[in-house]
Chain A
């Protein structure tokens, strides 16, 4: 959950605030939790909404999705580094929210389309279509960058 919040907000303090806020919100509205739904997907959905709220409140802190120098120092270690990671992070921030959240949930966090559908309250097919579109847009953005970097 921290990883998802980090990729949505771009820094550790905001990510931790979002996780904390999401759990408090989930606890407050625990009566609204539907039996049959997965607790994790429900909390995850609250987390995504919380991240958007925090992002809106602190939006002025960032400049076009690029972290400022102070925040960059707060980057946690990546679980598996990759030469294209930084480029991809920038590209993902440029995606529209509906594509970004599906890409992060599927490709980064490793959820299935069924789980993503449950988290975002969308059909499985829509999740697949959004991931396809997200990949297409990312390839478009990263392709030329990669050529320059290489």
Chain B
């Protein structure tokens, strides 16, 4: 058998037939495959999100429980005992200075003399500031180691000092 005869016989091995259902079947399989893949992907993504949220909630819950259960110790407080007494001493001096200023303002307040609108506003503001100071002090009494409240009180006292100075200026200007 020659190479040509072999090649000629080999060509006859080539087959051809109609397969009308083949391409639609391929298309259907690919679509099913895609749908399956997307649904699995979505499911996996949803599972990851749910697990993350659940893990975060568990961690947060544990932390809150731990914080609630643990007693306030010196190390965990914002202020130590020694630091607190220093702060309270400095505060007392500052407040005493401001109260002295307030007393001076009270002495100059002449109820018989008509007051200017600005002075009336400043005195009104002083009343509001004193109320804010009282509230803040009450909060501090409940939590003496809270530095945030102490900082807030200090800023209110600074505002009171500024207001008192303005009142004194206005009084002097009026007289």
Contact = CB atoms under 8 A, between A and B. Distances in A.
Interface of A: 2-3, 6-7, 12, 16, 19-20, 23-24, 27-28, 75-82, 84-85, 87-89, 92, 103-104, 107-110, 135, 138-139, 142-143, 146
B75 interface: no
Nearest to A84: B9
Given A79-B11, A79-B14, A82-B12, 20 more contacts: A2-B15, A7-B13, A7-B15, A20-B29, A27-B30, A28-B33, A76-B16, A76-B17, A77-B17, A78-B12, A78-B13, A82-B11, A84-B5, A84-B12, A85-B12, A87-B9, A107-B7, A108-B11, A108-B13, A146-B1
A contacts with B: majority SS: helix
Interface of B: 1, 3, 5-17, 19, 22, 25-26, 29-30, 33
B15 A23 contact: no
Contact of A109 (B6, B9, B14, B19): B14
A24 B14 contact: no
Contacts of A24: 26, 29-30, 33
A78 B14 contact: yes
Contact of A77 (B11, B16, B22): B16
Contacts of B26: 19-20, 23-24
Contacts of A27: 30, 33
B15 A82 contact: no
Nearest to B37: A28
12 contacts: A12-B17, A23-B26, A27-B33, A80-B12, A85-B13, A88-B9, A88-B13, A108-B11, A109-B14, A142-B1, A143-B1, A146-B1
A36 to B, nearest CB: 24
Given A2-B19, A16-B22, A138-B6, A23 B30 contact: yes
Contact of A79 (B1, B12, B25): B12
B32 to A, nearest CB: 9
B83 to A, nearest CB: 63
